Amino acid sequence: MGKFIYEGAVRVDIEDRILAHLQLVISSKLRRGEPFPFSWRDDASIGDGRTSVWLHPQSSLVYKFYGSRLPPLNPAWIDALAYTANSTSGLYVVPEPVEHPGEPMAIGEIP
């Protein structure tokens, strides 16, 4: 289980594989100077609500992975997440779709 930390104060636990996909999508948008909201459902232990943060190129972001191995990336999931990030509602986690034919991407590859 990884952790996404926003501005040193907002922290959310996210499974490493999901976090790797989010990191790629977030980094791509911020590299292009595109601010956007990122939202997620809160765990029931903290109220079962929803949290949204505004991501912009000056945001302080930390991606903490607890696994030692880099997870393979699914290009179809990256596309689906990027689609939400470009929508008016902003980035949120969607279920992983079936991969496109071919090999999974390694971290660092850009689709």
4-54 tens-digit pLDDT: 999 999 999 999 999 999 999 999 999 999 999 999 998 877 777 899 999
pTM: 0.84
Dist. CA 101–CA 76, nearest whole Å: 10
85-97 tens-digit pLDDT: 999 999 999 999 8
C-alpha to C-alpha distances, 111 to 35, 36, 88, nearest whole angstrom? 20, 20, 23
**Is residue 1 within 8 Å of 12, Cβ to Cβ?**
no
What six digits make up the tokens of 100?
């496109």
